[in-house]
C-alpha cells in the first residue's frame, strides 16, 4: 500500500502551461488562521469560497507553503520539520477530507519544492484516488489531482473502506510517542491491515508504531520494520 506522491511536478507543469491548479478550499477557519499568521489567500480562492461549499473545489494559484523549508537530508531534518509544522496529522486529515470526501489512507509530512507540506492520499467517495498537498502552516490546499496511473487492487480499496479506525484517530493514538510525521494504512503486518504511524520525539529519535485498523489498539512495529529499537512503552 505504499503510495508515494509526486505532486510538485504536476503543479509546476500546470502553472507553466498558463492554467490554474484545481484544489479545494479548506474552510473559512483555515483561511482565518492563514490571515492571522500573516499570509493571504489568493483572490480567486476567496472569490470561490462560497461556491466551494457546494462544489468542493476552488482555484488556488499559489502552490507554495507558508513555511519555507527545503529538504536537504541534513542530520536532524525530520525533527526540524516536525517542530516547524503548525498543522497536526489529525488536522491535515480533516482538511484533506474537506477537499475530497472519502477515506484518508496516507499522510506524510515533507519539506519539498513547495515548502513544508502534508501529502495526503484519499480514496474518494467517487471511487477515485486523490492526491492532495496541504500547507503545513495553515492547512490550506496547495494542490490536488486524481491519480490516473493508479494500479491498486481490490484488497487495498477494501482495507480502506472497512477500517473502523481512521487516519486521524490512529495519529491521535500514536501521539503519546512523539510528534506524528507519517500515517499509512498498510497490509504488510499480518493478515489484516493496520495503520503504520511514524513519530519523532524531542531527542530526535524516530519510532514506528502500528494501530489496529479495527480495534484501534496500539503496538510497536516488528523489529525488522522499526527504524530503531527504542520504541518501548507502547501497549502490546
Taken in order of first residue, the domains within the chain and their CATH numbers are 8-146 (3.10.450.40), 154-220 (3.10.450.40)
Question: What is the distance between the alpha carbons of residues 64 and 46, in angstroms, rounded to a whole number?
Answer: 17
pLDDT of residue 190: 57
State whether the Cα torsion 124-42-72-170 is positive or negative.
Answer: negative
Residue 110 pLDDT level (bands cut at 50, 70, 90): very high
pTM: 0.69
Average pLDDT, the chain: 75
- SS3 of the chain: helix, strand, coil, percent, to 5: 30, 30, 45
The yes-or-no verdict on residue 46 having pLDDT over 50 is no
What is the arrangement of strands in the sheet containing 102-112, beginning at the earlier edge strand?
Answer: 141-146, 129-135, 115-124, 102-112, 179-186, 194-200, 206-212, 218-220
pLDDT tens for 10-31 read 433 333 334 433 333 333 343 4
Amino acid at each position: 500500500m505504499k503510495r508515494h506522491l509526486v505532486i510538485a511536478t504536476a503543479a509546476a507543469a500546470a502553472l507553466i502551461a498558463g492554467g490554474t491548479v484545481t484544489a479545494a478550499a479548506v474552510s473559512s477557519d483555515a483561511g482565518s488562521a492563514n490571515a492571522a499568521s500573516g499570509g493571504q489567500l489568493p483572490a480567486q480562492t476567496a472569490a470561490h469560497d462560497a461556491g466551494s461549499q457546494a462544489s468542493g473545489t476552488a482555484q488556488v494559484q499559489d502552490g507554495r507553503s507558508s513555511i519555507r523549508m527545503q529538504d536537504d537530508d541534513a542530520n536532524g531534518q525530520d525533527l526540524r520539520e516536525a517542530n516547524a509544522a503548525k498543522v497536526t496529522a489529525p488536522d491535515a486529515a480533516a482538511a484533506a477530507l474537506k477537499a475530497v470526501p472519502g477515506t484518508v489512507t496516507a499522510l506524510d509530512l515533507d519539506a519539498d519544492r513547495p515548502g513544508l507540506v502534508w501529502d495526503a492520499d484519499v480514496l474518494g467517495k467517487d471511487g477515485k484516488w486523490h492526491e492532495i498537498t496541504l500547507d503545513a502552516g495553515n492547512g490550506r490546499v496547495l494542490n490536488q489531482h486524481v491519480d490516473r496511473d493508479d494500479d491498486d487492487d481490490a484488497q487495498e480499496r477494501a482495507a480502506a473502506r472497512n477500517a473502523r479506525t481512521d487516519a486521524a484517530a490512529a495519529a491521535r493514538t500514536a501521539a503519546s510517542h512523539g510528534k506524528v510525521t507519517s500515517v499509512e494504512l498498510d497490509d504488510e503486518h499480518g493478515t489484516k491491515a493496520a495503520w503504520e504511524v511514524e513519530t519523532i520525539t524531542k531527542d530526535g529519535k524516530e519510532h514506528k508504531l502500528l494501530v489496529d485498523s479495527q480495534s484501534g489498539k496500539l503496538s510497536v512495529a516488528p523489529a525488522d520494520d522499526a527504524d530503531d529499537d527504542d520504541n518501548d512503552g507502547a501497549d502490546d
